[in-house]
Amino acid sequence: MATLPQLIEEDIRHLDKTLRDFIAKADAMVALIIDKGGFLITHAGDAGDFDLTTIGALASGAFMANQTIAGLVNEPNFNSIYQQGEKTSVLAANVDENCILIVIFKAQTGVGVVKYFIPTAVKRIAKQMVAAHKRNPDGGLDLSVMNLADTEGVFRKKEA
Amino acid sequence: MAIINQATKELQVKIVYYGPAMGGKTTNLVQVHDHVQTTAGNKGKLVSLATSSDRTLFFDFLPIEAMTIKGFKTKFQLYTVPGQVIYNTTRQLVLRGVDGIVFVADSQYEKMQENVESFQNLMDNLSSLKQNFAEIPYVLQYNKRDLPNAAPVEYLDFLLNNRDTQVPSFSATAHKCEGVFESLNMITRLLLQKFVNQSVPQYA
C-alpha cells in the first residue's frame, strides 16, 4: 500500500501556509489535511473546541465509504463529499492517493466559494507531497534511536 | 501505516480490534477508556458509531496520547470493526493503514466457527488491501473466560494460533477489564519493536 512521504518541518510549513491562504480566501473556519487511514497531518484556522483528531478519523471513514459507494455504482469521478449544515458545513476533497483535505466553514459562507478555491489548495498540497516524496523516496525516521525496550507501562490501568 | 511527523514530533499509530460479532471488541475499548491512566487531556472521547441496540455499525474510535518517547509524542488511535458478516466492506475501510491488530476471539464453544471465519476474513481483507498479514503484528485475546461454556485455551490456540510463528495470546474477561491492558500493551510492544527492527521504515 502506498504511504505518506516523510514530511519535514519545511513541508508542514508549506502545507500550513497553503491552508491559511485557502482559509482567508474561502472564508472558512478550519482546514485539515488528513491521511486516508484517519490520521491528522496538520491543520490551520480557528479550531475552537472542535476535536480535530476525532473529526479526522470520522471524515476519513466517511470519505472512504462514499468513495466505495461511488465505485459500486460505477462512478469513477469521485472527488469530494459535502455535508450541509444549518450553522456549520463540511467539505472533504480528495488530494491524492493518501490524503484528504477537510474544510469546516460557516453555513452562511456558502459552499460555492469553498469549491471555487479548493482546487488550487488541493494542487498545492499534492505538489508538496510529491516534492516530499521525491526528496526521500524511501525515507523515514530512524526509530532505532528510541528506547522502546520497555513498553509495559505505555498503558497503565488506574488503581482501583 | 503509522505517521511519524518530524515537524510536530509526533508518532501516530493505529490499532484495530478485530473479531467475530459480539466477541467483546467494543467492551475492550470501553474498558480502556474507563480505566486508562493518562494525564488530563490526553484521552479523547470514545466515539461509537453503533445501532440503536449498541451493535457497532461503522467503528468505535478512541484516541489516546501515551508517553513521550525520546521527545516524540506517541498518539494511539484504537478502532474496532463491526463484527457482523454483512459489514465486510466497512471492515476493509477501517483496516486501511492499520499498524497492529488485537484479534478478540469469543471463548465459547459454539463460537469457534465464527472465530475461525473471522480470522480468515481478516487475512482476506488484509490481502485485498495489499497488506502482508505476516508483516503486521497481532495478538490474540481469548475473551469471555468467565463463561461456563468457555473452551480450553489450548483448543483456542490450536484453532487460531497454530502457525509457524505463534503470537502472544491472552485470556480475558473484558467486561471486568481482565486481560484488556495486557493485550493492548503487548500489541504496542510488538508494533513499536517492528518499527525499530525495520532498517528502512516504510513511512514517515
The candidate with the shortest Cα–Cα distance to A96, out of A121, A74, A66, A62, is: A121
Residue B26 within a domain = yes
**Predicted confidence band of residue A146 (pLDDT cuts 50, 70, 90):** very low
Residue B44 within a domain = yes
This model of the complex carries an ipTM of 0.72
How many Å lie between the alpha carbon of B73 and the closest alpha carbon of chain A?
12
Give contacts of B63 with chain A, Cβ < 8 Å: 53-54, 57
Copy the grid coordinates of residue B69. Answer: 518517547
Tally of domains within chain B: 1
Question: Does the beta carbon of A97 lie under 8 angstroms from any beta carbon of chain B?
Answer: no
User: What would the pLDDT profile of B45-59 be if each residue is shown by its tens digit?
Assistant: 888 888 777 788 888
Give the whole-angstrom CA distance, residue B142 versus residue B173.
8
Place of cell 492517493: A97
Q: Which of A155, A156, A158 to mutate to test the interface with B (most CBs of B within 10 A)?
A: A155
What is the pLDDT, as a whole number, of residue B45?
85
Query: Which chain B residue has the Cα nearest residue A67?
Result: B93
Give the whole-angstrom CA distance, residue B52 versus residue B155.
35
**Predicted confidence band of residue A140 (pLDDT cuts 50, 70, 90):** very low
Domain boundaries, chain A: 9-136
The candidate with the shortest Cα–Cα distance to B80, out of B106, B108, B50, B52, is: B50
User: What would the pLDDT profile of A21-68 be if each residue is shown by its tens digit?
Assistant: 999 999 999 999 998 888 899 999 999 889 998 999 899 999 988 998
Residue B202 within a domain = no
Residue B204 within a domain = no
Residue B156 within a domain = yes
From B97, B184, B201, residue closest to A140, measured CB to CB: B201
What is the pLDDT, as a whole number, of residue A144?
40
How many Å lie between the alpha carbon of A105 and the closest alpha carbon of chain B?
23
CATH number at B69 reads: 3.40.50.300
**Residues recorded for chain B:** 204
Give the whole-angstrom CA distance, residue A62 versus residue A73.
17
The pLDDT profile of chain B, 204 residues, written as one tens digit per residue, is 677 777 777 888 899 999 999 999 999 999 999 998 876 667 788 888 887 777 888 888 998 887 666 667 788 999 999 988 888 988 999 999 899 999 999 999 999 999 999 999 999 999 999 888 888 999 999 999 999 999 999 999 999 999 888 999 999 999 999 999 999 999 998 888 776 665 344 343
Question: Does the beta carbon of A71 lie under 8 angstroms from any beta carbon of chain B?
Answer: no
Query: Which phi-psi region, left, alpha or beta, contains residue B15 (left: φ > 0; alpha: ψ -120 to 50)?
Result: beta
This prediction's pTM: 0.83
How many Å lie between the alpha carbon of A5 and the closest alpha carbon of chain B?
6
| Angle value at C-alpha A88, between A83 and A89, nearest 5 degrees | 25
Residue B184 within a domain = yes
**Are residues A158 and B35, on separate chains, in Cβ contact within 8 Å?**
yes
Give the whole-angstrom CA distance, residue B155 versus residue B132.
26
Sequence-ordered alpha helix ranges (H) in chain B: 25-35, 88-95, 112-128, 153-160, 180-197
Looking at residue A96, its amino acid is D
Q: How many CB atoms lie within 10 A of CB A74?
A: 6
Copy the grid coordinates of residue B79. Answer: 478502532
Looking at residue B34, its amino acid is D
How many Å lie between the alpha carbon of A113 and the closest alpha carbon of chain B?
31
What is the pLDDT, as a whole number, of residue B202?
39
Q: CATH: 3.30.1300.30, 3.30.450.30, 3.90.1150.10, 1.20.120.80. Which one for A9-136?
A: 3.30.450.30
Give the whole-angstrom CA distance, residue B80 versus residue A57.
12
Question: Does the beta carbon of A4 lie under 8 angstroms from any beta carbon of chain B?
Answer: yes
Give contacts of B1 with chain A, Cβ < 8 Å: 1, 3-4, 37
Give contacts of A64 with chain B, Cβ < 8 Å: 93, 96
Residue B38 within a domain = yes
Residue B139 within a domain = yes
Q: Which domain holds residue B157?
A: 3-197
**Radius of gyration of chain A measured on its C-alpha atoms:** 18
pLDDT above 90 coverage of chain A, percent: 59
